[in-house]
């Protein structure tokens, strides 16, 4: 009976101790749960930053290869602009990565949760970004040098084109002058008519003699080309004439031509040696009778 009384007296004391211990355990459990949640949130934040930086690095790799291919190809104004735009995009991605990594290091430094693996990961990302910066800097220098060479070559090509254009213009002028000179050398003039017609047209004039006796006709000093027919001496070797007789007013070697006749009528003058025939004069005046 006495033992039962003791138990009844002690039981409330133990019950109170258990409740106090239980409360303490619940509080500790709540703290652990909060710590675990905070840790998971921190890790998730780190993972998102890692993924973002990694994705940017992948984009940089792709762009870097593309820029190398473009820079090695034929350079045009559009391709040069595209390469420079791609380089600018890559630099922006690198700057973004550096900013995100700096923020990540700051979070890791200020976080209560520190992990050696996370530190190694951030160090690895830092190294990759530095390597990419160096790679892009080298690539930018190569592209700049290549663009300089291309601009220099374009300048030389433009200068050569100007030179060719100038030479072409000079050649055209020289060719024109040569053609004009050749045309002048190959051009001769003739006129045919009666003595009266030729005098009336002031093609010939009488000279010498006395009282009309012994006068001879000669080509006027003032020549009017419009009174003559122009010919190409390399192509025209026959001059049509008509009349019983003709008189060669202008002087031409007798052995350089022959007179074609039929039924006592003169039909034409055939030039057998054009060079000799036209040497003394490029004008032929024939008086028909």
Q: What is the CATH number of domain 13-167?
A: 1.20.58
Domain boundaries, the chain: 13-167, 194-288
pLDDT digits (tens, 9 = 90+) for 230-263: 999 999 999 999 888 899 999 999 999 999 998 8
Q: How much is the average pLDDT of 163-167?
A: 86
β-pairing verdict for 283-288 and 265-271: unpaired
Residue 205's DSSP bridge partners are: 218
- CA torsion sign for 25, 28, 33, 34 is positive
pLDDT at position 16: 55
pLDDT digits (tens, 9 = 90+) for 73-95: 555 566 667 767 777 777 787 78
Most confident of 24-33, 58-67, 176-185, 229-238: 229-238
Whether the pLDDT of residue 7 is over 60: the answer is no
pLDDT digits (tens, 9 = 90+) for 116-148: 666 777 777 778 878 877 877 777 777 777 777
Mean pLDDT of the chain: 76
Most confident of 35-39, 64-68, 93-97: 93-97
- pLDDT category at 36 given cuts 50, 70, 90 is very low
């Amino acid at each position: 009976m006495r033992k039962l009384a003791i138990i009844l007296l002690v039981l409330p004391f133990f019950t109170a101790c258990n409740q106090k211990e239980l409360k303490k355990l619940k509080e500790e459990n709540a703290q652990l749960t909060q710590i675990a949640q905070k840790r998971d949130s921190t890790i998730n934040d780190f993972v998102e930053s890692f993924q973002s930086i990694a994705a940017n690095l992948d984009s940089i790799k792709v762009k870097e290869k593309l820029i190398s291919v473009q820079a090695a190809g034929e350079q045009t104004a559009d391709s040069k602009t595209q390469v420079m735009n791609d380089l600018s995009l890559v630099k922006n991605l690198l700057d973004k990565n550096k900013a995100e990594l700096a923020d990540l290091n700051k979070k890791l430094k200020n976080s209560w949760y520190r992990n050696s693996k996370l530190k190694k990961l951030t160090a690895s990302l830092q190294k990759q970004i530095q390597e990419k910066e160096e790679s892009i800097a080298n690539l930018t220098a190569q592209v700049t040098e290549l663009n300089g060479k291309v601009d220099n070559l374009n300048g030389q090509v433009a200068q050569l084109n100007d030179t060719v254009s100038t030479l072409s213009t000079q050649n055209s002028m020289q060719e024109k002058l040569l053609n004009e000179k050749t045309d002048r050398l190959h051009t001769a003039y003739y006129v045919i008519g009666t003595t009266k017609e030729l005098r009336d047209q002031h093609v010939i004039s009488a000279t010498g003699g006395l009282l009309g006796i012994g006068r001879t006709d000669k080509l006027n000093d003032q020549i009017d080309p419009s009174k003559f027919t122009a010919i190409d001496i390399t192509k025209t070797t026959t001059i049509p004439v008509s009349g019983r007789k003709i008189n060669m007013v202008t002087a031409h070697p007798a052995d350089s031509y022959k007179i074609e006749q039929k039924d006592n009528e003169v039909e034409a003058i055939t030039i057998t040696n054009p060079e000799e025939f036209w040497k003394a004069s490029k004008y032929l005046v024939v008086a028909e009778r």
